Structure 1
Amino acid sequence: MVTLILAMNSQCVIHTRISDDGTCTGPEFCAFVNELVSKMRGMDGMDGAWLIMTNARIYKTSELRRILEETSYELELLSPYSYMLNPAGNVFSKAKACVKRLLNNATADSMLSSLIQEGIATVTQEDCESYVLHMTMNVATAAAGQPFSV
């Protein structure tokens, strides 16, 4: 099993981590966040940025909160079942479609993690802008507790 973790904004995919070990653990996610924070510190316009995540248990660790307390970044957790507010899901979908195409032509020694990186590389700034815009259009619906429609 392969696990992909990513962080994005409206401009780009900021950071990714691929694990061939299966499910992402709390310590592995904290290592990802440490790497992400390091990258964000070198980027313009990131002071006070929100790190928006799903409501999974892995994102509620004291270690993660400790890491973020030492930064200007805020952790915001989405309410349960609000996948429509997670633009990273669109990145996953585009990368997955690309990987499927690449697998059709892959050699036996192709590494899945390399194909996933190729898939992520196809995500453009225009894609990211569109995914974030689509998410913001769903905020009012989610806040009102109304059902989401595609």
Structure 2
Amino acid sequence: MKVVERGYFQNVHLTTKSKADARFYKRMMTALDWFRQSFGSHANESEAIVALAVAFETLLTDHYQQGVADRIKRRVGICLKGVPGVQVYQQSVLEIYYARGSIVHTGGLGQTANVTKAQAALARYFCSLISRLSSSSLASSDPVKHLLGDN
């Protein structure tokens, strides 16, 4: 967490020459805020799903483009490679993503989603992603893709 905190303050609050670094650390903090909201005692299941889906999309994508669901599943797999139950984590993330779509587009929860498993997946993904950070600049307009080696 110290790495993210330091990166955020150095690249977002202080003057930095790297817009890519500033954008990356801002997205990391935004994702954590949405993740935190998925636990809120006031949140019903639909609110938790939407918050968690936004956290995943913010953390796992560099910018919007077609194929978000496939990219999210692939990147969870890359980051959690070797973790027991990686396919279960990937499935829980997809369930959250598709349930969010149902909530946002139809107003109702059209399918079940394992919020607890997806929250665990996000925590594991976040820790794995920040372990890949070095003290150098991210030097890419697609930092998540670069950090994960997701070609």
Common fold by TM > 0.5 = no
Q: Choose between structure 1 and 2: higher helix proportion.
A: 2
Q: TM-score, normalised by structure 2?
A: 0.29
Q: TM-score, normalised by structure 1?
A: 0.29
